Amino acid sequence: MLRDEFAEAGVTIGRDRFFEVLAENNLLVPRKPSKARTTNSRHSLPAFHNLLAEATLTAPNEAWVSDITYIRTRMGFLYAALITDAYSRKIVGWHIGDSLEVEGCLLALDKALESLPEGCHPIHHSDRGCQYCSHAYVDRLSENSLPISMTEVMHCYENALAERVNGILKQEYEMDREFITKKQ
Element (H, E) at 19: helix 15-24
Nearest Cα residue to 129 out of 109, 151, 96, 147: 151
End-to-end CA distance of the chain: 45
pLDDT in tens, 73-109: 899 899 999 999 999 999 999 999 999 999 999 999 9
pLDDT in tens, 20-29: 888 888 887 7
Q: Which domain holds residue 84?
A: 52-171
- pLDDT surpasses 90 at 135: yes
Structural domains of the chain, count:
2
Total residues found in the chain within this entry: 184
Indicate if 3 and 71 belong to the same structural domain: no
Indicate if 97 and 131 belong to the same structural domain: yes
